[in-house]
């Protein structure tokens, strides 16, 4: 929420017992029609003459709420406390508002209403039937045996046989 400055629109009339100080939200809207406040989140009230003293310590009967703002009636005041006369002090109010801007407002939920019609009640009873589910067989992982290849090299040494008067022939040994 965004806090307003201190607002002081009315001043209590000391000679009128039916007077008082009325810094109400309604009065604020009447006097400041451009005031953009979609929702009052919080309020703070103080005496103009004693701004650092809490309202509770002033000894006056004052309402300061988010519902109405500030109301102080002269007729509700007693002699004593901080004032020598049974008259309201002059009060100020600061209002913390959610501005009336779409980006600041919560998304409204739209209630939906559906007409209800009486319909006959149907009761159904179902009898469970057994079902057969195949049990999966675990797969046996295949294994591979390494293959060893042995290469044998045989070298043949040629042998020469010489026969006189004939051709030479090579025979493997």
Are 104 and 53 in contact by the 8 Å Cβ rule? The answer is no
pLDDT reported for residue 113: 45
Q: Which residue has the higher pLDDT, 166 or 15?
A: 15
Q: Which residue has the higher pLDDT, 90 or 134?
A: 90
Q: Domain spans of the chain?
A: 2-98
Q: Which residue has the higher pLDDT, 72 or 106?
A: 72
């Amino acid at each position: 929420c965004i806090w307003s400055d201190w607002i002081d629109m009315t001043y209590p009339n000391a000679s009128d017992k039916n007077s008082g100080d009325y810094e109400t939200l309604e009065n604020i809207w009447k006097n400041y029609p451009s005031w953009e406040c979609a929702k009052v989140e919080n309020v703070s009230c103080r005496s103009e003459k004693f701004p650092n003293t809490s309202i509770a310590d002033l000894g006056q009967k004052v309402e300061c709420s988010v519902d109405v703002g500030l109301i102080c009636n002269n007729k509700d005041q007693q002699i004593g406390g901080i004032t020598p006369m049974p008259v309201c002090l002059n009060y100020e109010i600061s209002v913390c508002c959610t501005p009336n801007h779409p980006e600041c407002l919560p998304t409204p939920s739209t209630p939906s209403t559906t007409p209800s019609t009486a319909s006959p009640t149907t009761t159904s009873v179902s009898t469970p039937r057994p079902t057969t589910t195949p049990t999966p067989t675990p797969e046996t992982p295949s294994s591979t045996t390494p293959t060893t290849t042995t290469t044998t090299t045989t070298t043949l040494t040629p042998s020469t046989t010489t026969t006189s008067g004939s051709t030479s022939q090579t025979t493997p040994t």
